[in-house]
Amino acid sequence: MALDICVKVAVGAPDVLGDCPFSQRVLLTLEEKKLPYKTHLISVSDKPQWFLDISPEGKVPVVKLDGKWVADSDVIVGLLEEKYPEPSLKTPPEFSSVGSKIFGAFVTFLTSKDANDGSEKALVDALEALENHLKTHPGPFVAGESVTAVDLSLAPKLYHLMVALGHYKNWSAPESLTSVRNYAKALFNRESFEKTKAKKEFVVAGWASKVNK
């Protein structure tokens, strides 16, 4: 039986998967675990009442598990791992926070209007920490040869980072970060990623309101 999941619809395209990295993280988990699912596309600017009834905060993703709607990608991914342990996507605890500063640093830099506020350096520092991890641990993924939950969380965030910063700031990660670049490529080339990613133009459109504040 297919799992119901509510995810963001694309900006300006009512029947196309949108650009929410947290929704994609859950979709990636479902794909990697080969679980059947049915997506319900939600417009975050015009949320239907039935959706607000099941998700009072109005946030996506929301998944129906054992008859209950569950919000928050961290919680959803944890419950999916418990309920469907094979194939395991469990990240060893010592690796679970690898790359955790990247997304916040990316958003700060993307929305920054001051070139000297240190936000670019903070992002480069966060990416360099990931680079150092990948260089000093056998890969190609954070915890080794197999993809785990930490990779599925990072993949959409790195994709947003590359697309949005390339578009809005003409910025790309330093060439010296070869391990990060290869890591991103390995994730983006996975079938699960191809199936669940938002098109680049929808990623760009999704960030427009934050960049143009």
- Domain of 19: which CATH number? 3.40.30.10
Residue 70 lies inside a defined structural domain of this protein: yes
d(CA 21, CA 45): 17
Sorting pLDDT into bands at 50, 70 and 90, what band is 124? very high
Sorting pLDDT into bands at 50, 70 and 90, what band is 213? confident
Q: Residue type at 56?
A: P
Give me the pLDDT at residue 12, please: 87
Distances 164 to 93, 143, 147, 184, 203 between C-alpha atoms, Å: 30, 27, 25, 15, 7
Give me the pLDDT at residue 212, please: 84
- What total of structural domains would you count in the chain? 2
Give me the pLDDT at residue 97, please: 97
The whole-chain average pLDDT of the chain stands at 96
Q: Examine the domain organization and report whether 176 and 110 are in the same domain.
A: yes
Sorting pLDDT into bands at 50, 70 and 90, what band is 185? very high
pLDDT of residue 184 exceeding 90? yes
Give me the pLDDT at residue 66, please: 95
Choose the final residue of a domain: 53, 83, 113.
83
Q: Examine the domain organization and report whether 45 and 127 are in the same domain.
A: no
Give me the pLDDT at residue 95, please: 98
d(CA 182, CA 158): 12
pLDDT of residue 144 exceeding 80? yes
Q: Examine the domain organization and report whether 98 and 78 are in the same domain.
A: no
Sorting pLDDT into bands at 50, 70 and 90, what band is 85? very high
Of 68, 4, 74, 69, nearest in space to 35 by CA = 4
The pTM score is: 0.96
Residue 67 lies inside a defined structural domain of this protein: yes
Q: Residue type at 1?
A: M
Active site residues: 20
Q: In the chain, at which residue ranges do the beta strands (DSSP E only) sit?
A: 3-10, 13-17, 37-42, 62-65, 68-71
Q: Examine the domain organization and report whether 68 and 19 are in the same domain.
A: yes
